[in-house]
Amino acid sequence: MLETIREFARERLNQSGEEDELRRAQADRLIELADRAGTRAIVDQPRPWNFDLVAPEIDNVRAVLEWALDRDPPRGLRLASWLEAFWVVRDAVEGAGWLERLLAETPDADPGLRAMALRALGGTSDMVQTHVDLDASTGGFAEVENFELIEGSSATDLFGNAKNSVITGNTTTGNGGGASFVFGALTLKNCVVSGNRADAYPGRPAGQLFGGGGLRGAGSPNVMTVIDSEITGNSSGRQGGGIFSLSPVGSPGTLIVKNSIVENNTATADPFGGGIYSNNTTLTLKDSKIAGNTPDDIAIAP
């Protein structure tokens, strides 16, 4: 009965010619609701989640996101991204699905918004262990050049190539303070990744592995290449102050650091990896300086 009523209401709304205006207003209300519920990741401002605010609105969320795919993809992408924590905890599969579809429709959206959405997609995909379709999800981020993510922007997920770029002063809770990816590849060339931070998840078990104050790669495939770059002054609340790489048993990842500096980074939980934490990852160092990291430069786990 309820679905029949909803269908009738949708038909009447469509016939009125006012659907776009009303849906935009509804989307903005839901974005504000998500903000009050604490489901959006905000730099340096971890907040308690109140999923009880969001759950009763989930049918409205779905209706708005479906409408936004055709009529206002950037607004839909903002809503889906603002609900990151809700998707991760309550329905990572659905959240990843909306984010992938909306990212595919917004290749020219604001880079900050796409960065937030890509980070949210990485989190949801990490939870469900699904493969992210990089071609569909990354759009303009497939090749990033002269990119600056500076001083207080949200932490970002970069897939593909980043060249001549600066990523600094960013903070996230958990993984990848500067840049992060899950199930894919990232190449940095002539980049500076400095002063970023990945704080520890509150209440997580002490033995759980996560981190990457500067860079984080995880899943399978997991291929990270750092060339002619500086990874300095980053910190992690767990492992991998500078770089964190974690791949599943039986499917080792690849981490290559060439002609680069990994220096003065900090990790705070054993097994540390102040500079580099490599777990089930083939680590190759060539003509690089890995020094001055706290409490150690490199930690390798089988």
Residue boundaries of the structural domains of the chain: 1-131, 146-302
For the chain, percent of residues with pLDDT exceeding 70: 77
The predicted pLDDT at position 155 comes to 39
Q: Comparing C-alpha atoms, which of 210, 273, 299 is closest to residue 246?
A: 210
Question: What digits encode the pLDDT tens for the residues 159-209?
Answer: 566 788 888 888 888 888 888 877 777 888 888 899 999 988 777 666 678
Of 209, 222, 197, 198, the C-alpha closest to 277 is 209
The separation between CA 14 and the C-alpha centre of its own chain, rounded to angstroms, equals: 36
Q: Omega of the bond prior to 56 within 30 degrees of 0, cis?
A: no
> H helices of 83-190, where?
84-90, 92-104, 111-128, 134-138
Exposed / middle / buried, residue 290 (Cβ in 10 Å: 0-12, 13-18, 19+): buried
Which residue from 44, 33, 105 is spatially nearest to 69, judged by alpha carbons? 105
Mean of per-residue pLDDT scores for the chain: 80
- Reported confidence tier of residue 267, pLDDT bands at 50, 70, 90: very high
Whether 139 has a pLDDT exceeding 60, the answer reads: no
67 pLDDT band (50/70/90 cuts)?
Answer: very high
213 or 178, higher pLDDT: 213
pLDDT (average), residues 68-87: 93
- CA dist 17 and 27 (Å) reads 17
Q: How far apart are CA 213 and CA 218, in angstroms?
A: 14
Question: In this predicted structure, what is the pLDDT of residue 140?
Answer: 30
| pLDDT confidence band for 15 (50 / 70 / 90) | low
> Cα 49–54–55 angle (5° rounding)?
110
What's the whole-number mean pLDDT along residues 57-70? 95
Nearest to residue 56, comparing CAs of 93, 92, 30, 27? 30
pLDDT of amino acid 146:
47
Per-residue pLDDT at 76 exceeds 50: yes
Helix residue ranges, H only, 106-264: 111-128, 134-138
